[in-house]
Chain A
Amino acid sequence: MTTDKTAAVYEVLSPWAEADPVPQRGLIAERPAELAGKKIGLFHMWKRASKPTLGVLERKLKGKYPDAEFSWYEESEMNVPEIESRNKAQYEDWIREVDTVIFTYGD
Chain B
Amino acid sequence: MYDVISAEESEVPAVGLIAEGFKDDAKSAASSRSMPGARCIPTIIPPEATKMEEIEAGVEDCFEDVLKALTSPLTTAEKSSEAKKVEEAPRIIFKGSLDDINLFFYRRGWTDGFPVVPPTEEKVAEMLTGTDLPPDTLLGKLLPRQGKVTVEKIAVNAVIAGALPTYLPVILAATQLLLDSEMGFRGYCTFGVSTGSWAPFWVINGPIRNEINLNYKSGVLSPGNIANAAIGRAIGLVIKNIGGVRKGIEDMGVMGNPMKYTMVMAENEEESPWEPLHTDFGLDREDNSIAISFPQSWIQNYPPANEADAILRSLLNHLIPGMMHTIIFPPVHARTLAAEGWSKPDIKEFIRENARMPAPGRAVEIVPLINDVRTLRVMVAGGPGAFIAQAVGGGPTPGKAEIRKIELPKNWAKLVAKYKNIVPDHLRY
Complex contacts, B217 vs chain A, CB 8 Å: none
A-B pair count, CB < 8 Å, reads: 267
The residues in A between 7 and 23 inclusive whose CB is less than 8 angstroms from any CB of B are: 7-23
Question: Is B118 touching A12 in the complex (CB atoms < 8 A)?
Answer: yes
On whether A9 and B95 interact (CB within 8 A), knowing A24-B34, A106-B2, the answer reads: yes
Asked if B3 and A81 make an inter-chain contact with CB atoms under 8 angstroms apart, the answer reads: yes
- Give which listed residue, A13, A17, A56, A79, contacts B242 with CB less than 8 A: A17
Stretch at the interface among B41-49, B258-266, B271-279: B41-49
Q: How far is the CB of A104 from chain B (nearest CB, A)?
A: 5
Interchain CB contact (< 8 A) of B83 among A21, A43, A56, A83: A21
- B256 adjacent to chain A (CB < 8 Å): no
Interface pair A12/B35, CB less than 8 Å apart: no
* Contact-size category for A: 35 or more
Q: Given A52-B55, A102-B17, A29–B11 Cβ distance below 8 Å? A: yes
- The answer to whether B156 touches A14, judged by C-beta atoms less than 8 angstroms apart, is yes
A101 contacts the other chain (CB 8 A): yes
Is A90 part of the contact surface with B, judged by Cβ < 8 Å? no
What is the number of residues of chain B that contact chain A, defined by CB distance less than 8 Å?
105
Instruction: Output the least CB separation between A29 and chain B (Å).
Output: 5
Q: Which of B24-32, B225-233, B338-346, B407-415 contacts A (4 or more CB under 8 A)?
A: B24-32
Q: Which of A13, A21, A23, A106 has the most CB of B within 10 A?
A: A13
Q: How far is the CB of A39 from chain B (nearest CB, A)?
A: 10
Q: Determine if A103 is an interface residue (Cβ-Cβ < 8 Å).
A: yes
Tell me whether A49 is interfacial, beta carbon within 8 Å. yes
State the A residues within 8 Å of B (CB). Answer: 5-35, 41, 43, 47-50, 52-53, 56-57, 60, 75, 77-84, 91-92, 95-96, 98-107
Q: A17-B241, A18-B89, A92-B10 are in contact. List 10 more A-B contacts (CB 8 A).
A: A16-B89, A17-B150, A19-B86, A22-B83, A22-B84, A24-B81, A31-B13, A81-B3, A96-B10, A99-B12
| Sampled A-B contacts (27; CB under 8 Å) | A9-B96, A12-B101, A13-B120, A15-B241, A17-B89, A19-B147, A19-B148, A22-B84, A24-B83, A27-B79, A28-B14, A29-B8, A31-B13, A31-B70, A47-B47, A52-B52, A57-B66, A81-B6, A95-B7, A95-B12, A98-B12, A99-B12, A100-B14, A103-B16, A105-B17, A106-B16, A107-B25
